[in-house]
Amino acid sequence: MFEITVQHHFCAAHSLRGYPGKCQNIHGHNFVVEARITGQQLDAVGILVDFKDVKAALGAIIEALDHQYLNDLPPFREVNPSSENLAKYFYDQLAPHLPAHVRLAEICLRETPSYAAIYRPPLA
């Protein structure tokens, strides 16, 4: 099994509705999104999937979130824009844009160097 990892980043603000502490107030992060992609088949060049293609797909998702107040965006008007929910959002948005011979194993979303949330889909 082969695995590649691609990172991208964005800046955004959010507030966690119902949180019993300071995070209920608006605050921002320099988020880092990391996509881990696995597969068994390399292409004729010897790569699983081009790093640049994955970064471009992540960039298209990030474009709508970068420098925004996440709570105002449609995906997060009802669902809290927690790191966990952001990780799942990135998973759901990225997975359909990957080639059929690979699998998006997980998304890791870091809100600080010390704090990260990972979303992995349930095993089928």
Question: β-strands 103-110, 2-14: how paired?
Answer: unpaired
pLDDT digits (tens, 9 = 90+) for 11-64: 999 999 999 999 999 999 999 999 999 999 999 999 999 999 999 999 999 999
Question: In whole angstroms, how far apart are CA 7 and each of 18, 19, 20, 44?
Answer: 30, 28, 31, 24
Q: Which residue has the tokens 């992540």?
A: 58
Active site residue 23: yes
pLDDT digits (tens, 9 = 90+) for 59-114: 999 999 999 999 999 999 999 999 999 999 999 999 999 999 999 999 999 999 99
d(CA 39, CA 120): 15
Among the listed residues 8, 9, 23, 106, the single catalytic one is 23
Active site residue 8: no
Among the listed residues 14, 29, 34, 111, the single catalytic one is 111
Among the listed residues 67, 78, 101, 106, the single catalytic one is 67
d(CA 67, CA 13): 7
Active site residue 111: yes
d(CA 26, CA 72): 12
- 39 Cβ partners below 8 Å, 6+ apart? 1, 2, 48, 49, 101, 102, 103
